[in-house]
Structures are given as structure tokens and as C-alpha cells.
Amino acid sequence: MECLVCRRIVDRDGLEFWGATICPSCQRKMLEVTADQPEYGAYVMALRRLWRRQLQAARDRRLKEGEHLEPE
């Protein structure tokens, strides 16, 4: 798996959620970074990308389920 933030290959120590992985060093940085640090924007963007992908997947699922509900 590839780290969502730094794109390094992550072994099984990575935090995995929503099908994405964040490496231990980025996890630590994310917890420590504050909004006035330049890195903050990169983390926010990475999470936002992930979040958008989740929303898209949920929408696709709903559309598929909707097809089943339609009268045949």
C-alpha cells in the first residue's frame, strides 16, 4: 500500500481506513501539525481527496441500489 500523504510504500504498520493507508510518520505529523504550518495544507488536501472518493463511492452504491428498487 502507498501512503496517502507522502506516497511512500507502507508496510503493515500503516493506519488503514477507507481503503487508504497513512504511514506511521505521517500519522505522527498529522497529529502534531498546526494550521499555521505549511505542511498542514498538504494533509488537509490528502484527507479531502480521500473524503471525496468516499462520497463518490457511497453515491455510486446508492445509484446501484436505486436500480434494484425500480419497478421491472
* Footprint of Zn ion (CB under 5 A): 3, 5-6, 23, 26
Q: Nearest approach, Cβ of 45 to Zn ion (angstroms)?
A: 14
Q: Supply the DSSP symbol for 36.
A: T
**Cα separation, 29 vs 66, whole angstroms:** 41
CB 43 within 8 A of CB 27: no
Q: CB-wise, 11 or 67, nearer to Zn ion?
A: 11
Q: Nearest approach, Cβ of 18 to Zn ion (angstroms)?
A: 16
Q: CB-wise, 12 or 68, nearer to Zn ion?
A: 12
